[in-house]
Amino acid sequence: MKKLINRPEHVVVQALAGLAAAHPDHLRVRTGPRYVVRADAPAPGKVGLVSGGGSGHEPMHGGFVGMGMLDAACPGEVFTSPTPIQILAATKAVDGGAGVLYIVKNYTGDILNFRMAAELAKAENIDVEAVVIDDDVAVRDSLYTAGRRGVGTTVLAEKICGAAAEQRRSLREVAEVGRAVNASGRSMGMALSSCTVPAAGQPTFDLGPADMEIGVGIHGEPGRERLVTAPARDVVLMLATPIVADLPFRAGDKVLAFVNGMGGTPLIELYIIYHELGRFLLERGIQVTRNLIGPYITSLDMQGCSITLLKLDDELTSLWDAPVNTPGLRWGA
Amino acid sequence: MKKLINRPEHVVVQALAGLAAAHPDHLRVRTGPRYVVRADAPAPGKVGLVSGGGSGHEPMHGGFVGMGMLDAACPGEVFTSPTPIQILAATKAVDGGAGVLYIVKNYTGDILNFRMAAELAKAENIDVEAVVIDDDVAVRDSLYTAGRRGVGTTVLAEKICGAAAEQRRSLREVAEVGRAVNASGRSMGMALSSCTVPAAGQPTFDLGPADMEIGVGIHGEPGRERLVTAPARDVVLMLATPIVADLPFRAGDKVLAFVNGMGGTPLIELYIIYHELGRFLLERGIQVTRNLIGPYITSLDMQGCSITLLKLDDELTSLWDAPVNTPGLRWGA
């Protein structure tokens, strides 16, 4: 295992220490229980946004804590759900009296623990709603999931709900925005190599030197099929065709096109994928009006990419464009 | 070779097509000769900033074209210098009457071709100055270099000179700022794996399953020594000790600490490196007042990192903080 780490059991805590040291203007990292929280939390009268999940997907979620995005993130160990106690502590820290919205990726452990935290928070008179992201069209039911997995749309939901919360919309309204994002977003990923979980020390799955996995999950869960590696154009066809068919996206639709790197794939390749995706969508009359390209929801050191399309209306576009100031996503602020 | 590309010979042109398609608000990609240029170039009365070099280091340089940073970037083929003709064309495109500054990494081909372009530009009555970046403390003379290689400080020089140019400082003044950055910046890198040049199809160098290369260049040039992989803390010690000794950086100095990913290393590891670097500098009384963490000057899919320290005064700090709006670096605008 080749990684820039110290001991595997210290990966999460030391990466969080680095995050905290680097971004004191944005956030704090609390321990016992552990969560990342906006430096200026709670914001009175603002809905608090909390997300979280296993670590290994950086910059998601801790890197998205800051103005215009999350109020807190609850990091579990690598690929391990955060506990209800972590989530409850984060909830209390960000509650500014307007309630707290959870953005939860659809993994069984995350769903259970965020649900339990919501019950504990309600017992303390904090109003909580949850939005579940289940945008991965690759498979139905998977290693850690009943139904569809939550992947790239999570990043977009965190940004867009963050903007809605900054406008001081109500908890119900921000949750509604989050559900609209999930309803309008579809994703699919692929891997050229497996990730290696530090504590395991070995690749999560075996992939031959000429093979790729189409439809892979962000924890290396199996996808739709294992194929011989193919040109970028064919990879885009394999990912974007089921995405477009699923919603469906139609000629005339405006979309945000998000090309995500899995952690081990450099930007030069992601731009080639974006180039091919643009071509694919143009042929179908689908108009890309916004984009995001880079490693935003990663799977440790996995080589590969995912594509997310989000159907945009004026409302979602305007929330996307609103200022954001986090370590991982920053503009106009 | 596992890469998200089509044909190896189309990697650069298709990645640039993706860049152009993604960022029409920031930049255009011109062909014949090829360069990336700000959408609003030339800016009358502003010094034009031009950089460039081989491709494979994305987002550098094309991703740094935009407000507050470069006016143009000249991409060569992968790890291949751009031609004087490309550089001349970019120079003419960005000359707003205040002259043009070249920011050149110290590689023999780059130096020769930027020098030739400068002569051609002067023959067309464009005032040109050049700043050479040679900040890599690892080795003196290398595969493509006489003297020290230019690495991470290049990113910082492009940002800081960009801010000075936006303030409408003169060509001499912006060049002076660039030289001050180079004089105050020192870097060193390491690799856990080799990059693979698409046209070669094979790793550039062999590195055993338990080995790392300390002092590696951004094209996979040999470094100082090949060692058994070590914990992040030891890696930081090996990189930061020669950096600090070289300038030297002293107790009481304020620095920008830049932890750069080589392309195949995920953010979670870079934050661990940043955590260890913070500890290292704290022990020596060196104060980190600004930072940058992420893959900004990459080496294709190489796993590894580099550390750059830039000694800051009030002037450089204020130029660093100025708004920037490029695909690869964006804040306050």
pLDDT in tens, B152-203: 999 999 999 999 999 999 999 999 999 999 999 999 999 999 999 999 999 9
Which of A211, A216, A267, A296 is best to mutate for the B interface (most B CBs within 10 A)?
A267
Torsion-angle region of A145 (φ positive above 0: left; ψ -120 to 50: alpha; else: beta):
beta
Stretch A90-116: mean pLDDT: 98
pLDDT of A239 above 90:
yes
Yes or no: domain A14-183 corresponds to CATH 3.40.50.10440: yes
The token pair that represents A283 in the structure block? 């042929």
* Residue B15 tokens, joined: 């990645």
Residues 6+ apart with CB under 8 A from A330: A324, B330, B331
pLDDT, residue B193, reads 97
Cα distance between residue A153 and residue A189, in whole Å: 12
Write down the pLDDT at residue B179.
Answer: 98
Structure confidence at residue B162 (pLDDT): 98
Amino acid B222: pLDDT: 85
- A303 contacts B18? CB cut-off 8 A: no
> How high is the pLDDT of residue B141?
82
Note whether B192 contacts A: Cβ–Cβ < 8 A.
Answer: yes
* pLDDT score recorded for residue A145: 83
Q: What is the ipTM of this complex?
A: 0.98
Q: What average pLDDT does this structure show over A16-26?
A: 97
* CB-CB neighbours of A147 under 10 Å: 15
Digit-coded pLDDT (tens) for A280-312:
999 999 999 999 999 999 999 999 999 999 999
3-state secondary structure chain A: CCCCCCCHHHHHHHHHHHHHHHCCCCEEEECCCCEEEECCCCCCCCCEEEEEEEECCCCCCHHHECECCECEEEEEEECCCCCHHHHHHHHHHHCCCCCEEEEEECCHHHHHHHHHHHHHHHHCCCCEEEEEECCECCCCCECCECCCCCCCHHHHHHHHHHHHHHCCCCHHHHHHHHHHHHHHEEEEEEECCCCECCCCCCECCCCCCCEEEECCCCCCCCCCEEEECCCHHHHHHHHHHHHHHHCCCCCCCEEEEEEEECECCCHHHHHHHHHHHHHHHHHCCCEEEEEEEECCCCCCCECEEEEEEEECCHHHHHHHHCCEECCCCEECC
Position A333 scores a pLDDT of: 66
Catalytic annotation on B61? no
The pair of structure tokens assigned to B8 is 């190896």
> pLDDT by residue (tens digit) across A205-236?
999 999 999 999 999 998 899 999 999 999 99
Low-confidence stretches of chain B (pLDDT < 50) are none
Q: Enumerate the domain spans of chain A.
A: 14-183, 185-324
- Name the band, by pLDDT with cuts 50, 70 and 90, for residue A321: very high
In angstroms, the Cα distances linking A184 to A61, A156, A178, A284 are: 21, 11, 10, 18
pLDDT in tens, B24-66: 999 999 999 999 999 999 999 999 999 999 999 999 999 999 9
User: In the annotation, is B219 catalytic?
Assistant: yes
Catalytic residue among B26, B57, B61, B275: B57
The tokens describing A171, both together, are 């908890």
Contact residues, A window 277-306, toward B, CB-based 8 Å cutoff: 278, 288, 291, 293, 295, 298, 300-301, 303-305
**pLDDT of A140 strictly over 90:** no
A38 CB contacts (<8 Å, ≥6 apart)? A26, A27, A28, A65, A66, A67, A70, A71, A72, A94
- Gap between the Cα atoms of A305 and A275, Å rounded: 14
Mean pLDDT score of chain A, rounded to an integer?
97
Measured in angstroms, the CA of A273 and the nearest CA of chain B are apart by: 7
Return the SS3 of B25.
Answer: coil
Which residue numbers of A are catalytic? Answer: 57, 219
Distance (Å) from the alpha carbon of B138 to chain A's nearest alpha carbon: 19
User: What Rg value do the Cα atoms of chain B yield, rounded?
Assistant: 19
The 10 Å Cβ neighbour count of residue A313 is: 11
The span from the CA of A132 to the CA of B84, in Å, is: 54
On whether any CB of chain B is under 8 Å from the CB of A265, the answer is yes
**B4 touches A: beta carbon within 8 Å:** yes
Q: B280: which 2 tokens?
A: 């290292």
CATH class label, A185-324: alpha beta
Q: In angstroms, rounded to a whole number, what is the distance separating the alpha carbons of residues A223 and A188?
A: 9
Comparing CA positions, the residue from B3, B263, B2, B202 lying closest to residue A208 is B2
Phi, psi of B132 (to 5 degrees): -100, 130
The minimum CA-CA distance between B165 and chain A, rounded to whole Å, is: 21
Q: CB contact, 8 Å: B36 with chain A?
A: no
Q: In sequence order, which residues have a C-beta less than 8 Å from that of residue B171 and are 6 or more positions away?
A: B47, B98, B99, B100, B101, B127, B129
Give B89's contacts (C-beta < 8 A, 6+ positions apart). Answer: B30, B33, B35
pLDDT of residue B333: 66
Fill in the amino acid letter for B221.
Answer: E
Cβ B275–A14 below 8 Å, yes or no? yes
Is the bond into A327 cis (omega within 30 degrees of 0)?
no
- Which residues sit opposite B142 in a β-bridge? B145
Contacts of A29 in chain B (CB under 8 A): none
> Is A14 within 8 Å of B232 when comparing Cβ atoms?
yes
Peptide bond into A10 cis (omega under 30): no
Distance CA B57, CA B38 (A): 19
* Residue B156 main-chain phi, psi, to 5 deg: -70, -40
Q: What is the pLDDT of residue A144?
A: 82
Q: Sort out which chain A residues have CB atoms less than 8 A from B229's CB and list them.
A: 2
At A57-94, the pLDDT tens digits run 999 999 999 999 999 999 999 999 999 999 999 999 99
Task: Check CB contact of A55 with chain B, cutoff 8 Å.
Answer: yes
Residue B315, min C-alpha distance to chain A (Å): 21
Q: How far apart are CA A326 and CA A333, in angstroms?
A: 10
pLDDT of residue A146: 87
